[in-house]
Amino acid sequence: MGAVLHFNVQMNNKVYTAGIFLCLFALFYAACAGAQEYKSYPMWDPSLPLGQRVDDLVSRMTLEEKVMQMMNVTPAIPRLGIPAYDWWNEILHGVARTPYKTTVFPQAIAMAASWDTASLKLMAHYAAIEGRAINNRAVAEGKTGDRYLGLTYWTPNINIFRDPRWGRGQETYGEDPFLTAKLGAAFVRGLQGDDPRYLLAAACAKHYAVHSGPEPSRHVENITPSVYDLWDTYLPAFKELVVNAKVAGVMCAYNAVNSQPCCGSDLLMTDILRNQWHFKGYVTSDCGAIEDFIHTHKTQKNAASAAADAVFHGTDVECGQNVYKSLVDAVKNGLIDEHQIDVSVKRLFTIRFRLGMFDPREKVPYAKIPISELEAPRHQAQALMMARQSIVLLKNENNTLPLRKSLKRIAVIGPNADNRKVMLGNYNGTPSRIVSVLDGIKAKVGPQTEVIYEPGVGYVDDEAKQTGSAQKQDIDAAIKRVSGADVIVFAGGISPDLEGEEMQVNAEGFNGGDRTSIMLPKVQTSLLKRLHDTGKPLILVMLTGSAIAVPWEEQHIPAIINAWYGGQSGGTAVAEVLFGDYNPAGRLPVTFYKSDEELPDFKDYNMTGHTYRYFKKDVLYPFGYGLSYSAFRYSNIKIPHTARKGTAFKVSATVTNSGPFDGDEVAQLYISHPNVKQKAPLRALKGFQRFHLKAGSATIIKFTVTPDELSLVSGSGKMYQPTGKLLLSLGGGQPNIKLAGVPVVQQKTILIK
């Protein structure tokens, strides 16, 4: 065999004969060649149709490889050049949970209070730009498989905030299906971009469907909504995002509907989502939801049957505990056909191809976005603008606001006065700088004004957190100290540490992330009473993600502001409103009720008695409500006396800013059907516009009312347009609201023939 067999080679401290070395070299060379061979596959040819590329890719995968690509954490497939990827990322109000500093916009419920689709679309676009910058850096560093670095964002949350006790309601756009649909669609369009070929990022509408608390029982709830409520309340926003906004993804919820888990629902997943709405995107489970098939809903006995059931119903990704790994056995044992696996895998790779993950960098318009886009000046400016837009002025007796900047002493007191964390809400990123209410006020006044700060109390007791530790407050001393001020600003409310997703909270009025009471915590009202007794002008600023009942405060405090969780610049926006540098124009996306006693059972998903559309009693502050430092007058309203069924008609009005301040107005159009005998909303929002008017100026606003907006839902879930009398209301809020400062809402009757 010659001398060559006696020649030795040393590698990694091991000695090999030359013959063995040559064999190893040949194998290594072949592997390298194979590693490059995949580039010749049609899947890597950007000139080919997308469907052909995806089909080619999936045809080359083994069953085991396909199944592993259906987890939210997917491994690389080196022989095909497929990098690892984690589908899980968050961008609710800015890129969340990354290792980078990012722009944090106001919480979703706060952005909903802007009633401004254009502003929300721009915010989503800026957030997606930051997300792309992070992903581009991750790709360059080979971190494609790391969580919170991908481009598939599980946002927006378009569940209906049907009950103010739900802790996750802060993540939504409020209680109204129409407002939620329009804002959610704007978010999706901004996030996904307008390139005809590539997605800037992929949005995901969640949680599908009929999901809105309580948090502690979300894994076990079986909800049986009426067909009417399903189509009238719980589905319209999802339909808008799927059918019109072309959202890339949908997340199915934990709960069951009509005894089937949402991720395995014949009605929701097969009949409605795929067959009626023709959804072509991907579906992910909520995290752990497939396990619930087995352990809580008990509709399946084991992992293989649970996984097969979910995939059969179109759930393409499992987020959770690897139930889907059993799909290999499910196929081999005949529980599901491999073709069904192929359907899901093709959907998933279609999204990844549309995100440009398999195309040359120079062909993808978003692939060069640099990391310097994080916290770009225009993004931070938009965060401040949206914080301003979100603030709702609830009361302003005797023009208490705006304040003079020349005041000698201002007292700032309360658990949210110097709390920066509260500004961030939940599902949030981390900005380089957060402005508290105290920070904003200090920056706004001059050196001639003394700002006195006292925590006063905590959220639910007299222990206030200072510098990270809880300290019992001497309330008498605090009252004495602030009583010498010219004005007292109390920054109270609640916190994301008390309301949120499935939380462990041990505090009066809160349970598992939800609220057991919507009242402002007693300790805060008690302190407010003491402050009121000082005789000093008193202003209440509430930070919250949900409606708070403040009946005593409404009666006794001259000025009340709701500032939500305002994002990184929330404190600046509050100060600008307090001192008149910004004229507030936020409108409530939820109803503020008077007390707990007015609320139906939290677990009652029947919409009777829920939200402004079906609540018949007086409320503290209604949906759509918000005051201004100016005054707006509606005149010359043009509405046809009659309209033909099935045709659209136009509505217009002149709006005049008759007050002393420039400012925004939010025109709202409501429709009701007073003579309809079937179930129908008392009234329903069907149009809104936010616009700016200088003091003394006027503009003409126009709406086109379509047959869809004139239609109702029948008891069988079908849309129909009734004939007869139609009542249309146009103005700065709902009709028949008897609160000071609300513009008179014009109501007109139309006959539909």
Q: Please name the residue ranges forming H helices in 193-281.
A: 227-229, 236-239
d(CA 448, CA 468) in angstroms, rounded, equals 31
Among 92, 79, 86, which residue's Cα sits nearest to residue 426? 92
d(CA 190, CA 126) in angstroms, rounded, equals 8
d(CA 663, CA 359) in angstroms, rounded, equals 47
| Dihedral sign, Cα of residue 252, residue 258, residue 264, residue 267 | negative
Kindly list the distances between the CA atom of residue 149 and the CA atoms of 244, 318, 528, in Å, as whole numbers in the listed order.
28, 18, 45
For the chain, the helix, strand and coil percentages under 3-state DSSP, each to the nearest 5 = 35, 20, 45
Question: Are 155 and 87 spatial neighbours (Cβ–Cβ below 8 Å)?
Answer: no
Question: Are 651 and 638 spatial neighbours (Cβ–Cβ below 8 Å)?
Answer: yes
Residue type, 77: I
d(CA 499, CA 514) in angstroms, rounded, equals 6
State both tokens at 7: 């020649």
d(CA 732, CA 690) in angstroms, rounded, equals 10
d(CA 79, CA 82) in angstroms, rounded, equals 8
Among 671, 665, 666, 638, which residue's Cα sits nearest to residue 652? 638
The strand pair at 260-261 and 256-257 is best described as: antiparallel
d(CA 586, CA 194) in angstroms, rounded, equals 29
Q: Which residues have a Cβ under 8 Å from the Cβ of 178 and sit 6 or more positions away?
A: 236, 684, 685, 686
**Ramachandran angles phi, psi of 68, nearest 5°:** -65, -20
Coil vs helix vs strand at 88: coil
d(CA 215, CA 675) in angstroms, rounded, equals 39
Query: Residue 752: beta bridge partners?
Result: 643, 724
**Ramachandran angles phi, psi of 231, nearest 5°:** -85, -25
Active site members = 286, 499
Q: Which residues of 267-280 are buried (b: 16+ CB within 10 A; e: fewer)?
A: ebbeebbeeebebe
Give the other-Cβ count within 10 Å of 717's Cβ.
Answer: 15
